[in-house]
Amino acid sequence: MFNIFNKQNSLAIYAPMTGELIDLTELEDPVFSEKMVGDGVAIEPNENIVLSPVKGKITLLFPTRHAVGIETDEGLEILIHLGIDTVELKGEGFKAFVKVGDRVNVGDKLLEMNIEIVQNKGKSTHTPVLITNMEKVKELKIMHRDDVKAGKDIIMEIKLKD
């Protein structure tokens, strides 16, 4: 059987959080729903921990710890943005376990979002998982599952341009 993961120009993106997979177009923020930052999926999390969806290097960590960027060894850039408008919380409810420059593997703990605090502050916990450099992507296949488990389930298959 043909397996795209055996090819060097293909990449699996794992769920960084456990929860329900949501289409980006369903998000209330047009920056994400209209794919201005990048393409991908979102997760409505039911657990606080954020795991690395890929092997790579941490390239971005917001001071408020509500978003993290990872670049894979293949050059694919991934942004995980915890919640919507959560930058306004100024870091309250967020914890980081990595710093810029750290190397990570699939399943490594990156961040923590206290879902209860975020919701009590009136913010959405919808978490976009985006490919921000789509010019490198030949094909993005979203795996259509309702519920995903962090570090276990593949949420996107990416074929990179040659």
Taking only the tens place, the pLDDT of each residue in 64-104 is 999 999 999 999 999 999 999 999 999 999 999 999 999 99
Q: Is 33 exposed, middle or buried (0-12, 13-18, 19+ CB in 10 A)?
A: middle
Q: In what order do the strands lie in the sheet with 10-14?
A: 10-14, 154-160, 137-142
pTM of the model: 0.93
Q: What is the mean pLDDT of residues 101-129?
A: 97
Cβ proximity of 78 and 129 under 8 Å? yes
Cβ proximity of 38 and 131 under 8 Å? yes
Active site (catalytic) residues: 81
Give the dihedral sign, CA 109/111/117/122. Answer: negative
Q: How many C-beta atoms surround the C-beta of residue 162 within 10 A? A: 6
For the chain, domains (ranges, CATH) are 4-160 (2.70.70.10)
Rg (CA), the chain: 15
Q: What is the pLDDT of residue 8?
A: 63
Q: What is the pLDDT of residue 7?
A: 53
Q: What is the pLDDT of residue 162?
A: 84
Give the contacts of 34 (CB within 8 A, at least 6 positions apart). Answer: none
Taking only the tens place, the pLDDT of each residue in 36-67 is 999 999 999 999 999 999 999 999 999 999 99
Local structure of residue 117 (DSSP, 8 states): H
